[in-house]
Amino acid sequence: MANNRECIERVELALGHQHNCGAFHRAIVPVHEAFRGQTLWRGDVEVFDLTGHPKAKRAYAWSHREGNDDKGERFVAGLEIPPVESAQTAVKVAIVAELKKRKE
């Protein structure tokens, strides 16, 4: 996800609208997820504090390239609800979900 205020504000609005809560940008966390010495994902995860959500106090959001020649961009967001406990685990859970989806 581009680290610019306009993009962050759009994510805050989308999180708030989708989950009927307030969302406020808190931090940027660099994450490097590797498996057997190979990088699966590397990038910045935006951390948002949530207010008024019944289960989650935080959300994590990021984007990555995809599609033909990596020209597309996909946005991913996850709530801090177990097993998600951090930016790192949010990325891990998203990777596992994507792999399961590809197998189906």
Report which of residues 22 and 67 the model is more confident about: 22
Report which of residues 7 and 50 the model is more confident about: 50
Domain boundaries, the chain: 5-103
**Residue-wise DSSP of 32-100:** EEEETTEEEEEEEEEEEEEES-SS-SEEEEEEEEESGGG-EEEEEEEES-TT--SHHHHHHHHHHHHHH
pTM: 0.86
What mean pLDDT is predicted for residues 31-48?
A: 94
| pLDDT at res. 11 | 87
